[in-house]
Amino acid sequence: MSETSSANHLNHLRAIEALYSGHHGWLYATLKRKLGNAMDAADLAQDTFTRILASHITVIDQPRAYLSCVAKGILINWYQRKALERAYLDALANVPTHEAPSPEAHFVVLETLHEIDAMLDTLAPQVKRAFLLSQINGLKYDDIAEQLGVSLITVKRYMKQAFIQCLMLVE
């Protein structure tokens, strides 16, 4: 079996090599046209290939359709990340210096924020807010209920939904 799996790995690398040499230029040009920015396009094209490298794909028919599929998922994620970074930088400007993370810590904080953002993304806004008020701001459920104008039972329902979502997705 290990012989097969190493053969698969080799096929995987060959497939990606062919994909990269044949279509990286096309993907980059497409993304550049879409985003109007060469640097972002290069990053996204790179992310697309990184994700494909992390898969086990060995056989690819219609390589451009496949690349579009993968790149689309990454693009959606990327727009969201841009919005998060903008909000983070805006907030940073208003935070006293001693409360701001050290420059080295920014990367880790942003990375974690992005992960949490992605986990909470599909929740209804009220559910997400209740969860953040509790887990980030440390508010009690009673206070959250008052602030959101809903019952305590509702807050608990929100919290449970959000925790289940996070437990499903955290890694």
Partner 1 sequence: MLGLRKEPPLAPQVLEEAAEWLMRLSERELSEHERAEWERWKVSSPEHDRAWSRAQLLQSKLGGLPPSLAMSALDRPNSPERRAALGKLAILLAVMPVGWGSWKLAQSQQWSADYRTDVGQRRELTLADGSRITLNTETAIDVVFDDRQRLIHLREGEILVQTAVDTATLPRPFLISTRQGRMQALGTRFTVRELSPRTHLAVLDGAVSVILADNRQTPPLIVNAGQRTDFSSQTFGSLTPTDRDIGSWTQGMLMADKMRLADFVAELTRYRRGFLRCDPSIADLRISGAFPISDTDRTLNMLVHTYPVLASSHLRGYWVTLSPA
Measured distance CA(96)–CA(98) in Å, rounded: 6
Task: Enumerate residues 6+ apart whose C-beta is below 8 A from 159.
Answer: 130, 131, 134, 141
User: How far, in whole angstroms, is CA 65 from its chain's centroid?
Assistant: 22
If binding is defined by CB under 8 A, does position 150 make contact with partner 1? no
Binding residue for partner 1, selected from 99, 103, 104, 149, defined by CB under 8 A: 99
* Residue 37 binds partner 1 (CB under 8 A): no
Considering beta carbons, is residue 12 or 24 the nearer one to partner 1? 12
Q: How far is CA 70 from CA 43, 64, 73, 77, in A?
A: 14, 10, 5, 11
**List 2, 21, 62, 97, residue binding partner 1 (CB under 8 A):** 62
Interface with partner 1 (CB under 8 A)? 4, 8, 11-12, 15, 51, 54-62, 65-66, 68-69, 73, 83-84, 87-88, 90-92, 95, 99-101, 108-109, 112-113, 115-117, 120-125, 128-129, 132, 134-138, 140-141, 156, 159-160, 163-171
